[in-house]
Amino acid sequence: MRFRTPDYYGDFRCIADQCQDNCCIGWEIDIDEDTAAYYRNVGGDFGERLRRNISDGCFTLGEDERCPFLNSRNLCDIYTTLGEAHLCQICTDHPRYYEWFGDIKEGGVGLCCEAAARLILSRDMAIVESDITEDPTDPPDLTVFERLSYDRNVLLQFIAENDLPEAVQLLLDYAEKRQALIDMDNWDTADLYHEEIPVNAPQPEEILSFLCTLEPMSPDWIPRLERIKEVLPTVGDIPKEDYPELRRIAGYFLFRYYLKAVDDLDVLSRVKLTAVCTWVVSMLWRCRRAETGKCSFEDKVLDAKSLSKEIEYNEENLDALLDASYELECMSTAQLKGLFKKI
């Protein structure tokens, strides 16, 4: 089986007790059946402790929503007592994500982890492949898969070869036209490069208001969105110095989400997700500068991680945003292009 990842995938290392927002706090952790069966048979005091702290297939979160096995030094007692091999699947994988497409597996590291976010923001993405020993899954429609893979390469190329505002506008143009063709069962590429979709005046406050209706994962998220609304009239264009990291974030979203369209043929909402998330991160950075006069690389990493946690790592929020990208005028292709138009 071929395994395809961004080239930084293999460089990821969890920073454990150095992490500012440990993934063992505030998340419900489902225990997969194989691991649950193993935990049921662990003996001694630790086995008792395991069984006391599991209910309904999850670890029972303690005070401050901490995993009951996260000790006072923010290290995992299951890891130190039973070894890495006996972590449940989610804890083994996180923040890595995977998708299976027959004899191709894709993977990466998620932006919701600050150590992963540091990698994603600091390196241009090159996609690499290797052979792994794993049984193939049921194949997708291979013709559709190849066409979408072709598209994704084109879109990643747009990001690699253009400044951020032009790149995002090209992505949106391509996806809008591609979606219209897919809806007519037409996969020609020739028509995709003709006329551009017009640019309309954006309504960024409407996008922010929509985001405020989603379930917040952290108590400071909605107040931050409200502060962005306040500074909106004064922040101006995305500064050029932010282009490299924002392009990497756009590349991350495209790589991770575009091929999911192999199941539902919905490419447009995935590209709009890319545009909206990239724009929100840019606003978090611009708002930070407006308030404090600076935005360091570490600030950028933590803000990108916050956006990811709020949108990507809450399935309902992610679905709501994908749906809204069709339903709300503020997320029409023309208005999203307007968000990235230089004044």
Binding site for ligand SF4 (CB under 6 A): 14-16, 19, 22-23, 94-95, 113-115
Q: Which is nearer to ligand SF4, 82 or 113 (CB)?
A: 113
Smallest distance, ligand SF4 to C-beta of residue 21, A? 6
Tokens 């008792």 identify what position?
48
Smallest distance, ligand SF4 to C-beta of residue 97, A? 12
How far, in Å, CA of 280 to CA of 47, rounded? 45
Q: Which is nearer to ligand SF4, 88 or 182 (CB)?
A: 88
How far, in Å, CA of 86 to CA of 221, rounded? 34
Smallest distance, ligand SF4 to C-beta of residue 178, A? 34
3-state secondary structure the chain: CEEEEECCHHHCCCCHHHCCCCCCECCCCECCHHHHHHHHCCCHHHHHHHHHCEECCEECCCHHHECCCECCCCCEHHHHHHCHHHCCHHHHHCCEEEEEECCEEEEEECCCCHHHHHHHHHCCCCEEEEECCCCCCCCCCHHHHHHHHHHHHHHHHHHHHCCHHHHHHHHHHHHHHHHHHHHCCCCCCHHHHCCCCCCCCCCHHHHHHHHHCCCCCCCCHHHHHHHHHHHHHHHCCCCHHHHHHHHHHHHHHHHHHHHHHHHHCCCHHHHHHHHHHHHHHHHHHHHHHHHHCCCCHHHHHHHHHHHHHHHCCCHHHHHHHHHHHHHCHHHCHHHHHHHCCCC
Q: Which is nearer to ligand SF4, 98 or 326 (CB)?
A: 98
Smallest distance, ligand SF4 to C-beta of residue 99, A? 20
Smallest distance, ligand SF4 to C-beta of residue 115, A? 4
Smallest distance, ligand SF4 to C-beta of residue 14, A? 3
Smallest distance, ligand SF4 to C-beta of residue 298, A? 14
Q: Which is nearer to ligand SF4, 22 or 335 (CB)?
A: 22
Q: Which is nearer to ligand SF4, 14 or 197 (CB)?
A: 14
Smallest distance, ligand SF4 to C-beta of residue 119, A? 11
Q: Which is nearer to ligand SF4, 93 or 327 (CB)?
A: 93
Q: How far is CA 331 from the centre of its chain?
A: 18
Q: Which is nearer to ligand SF4, 116 or 268 (CB)?
A: 116
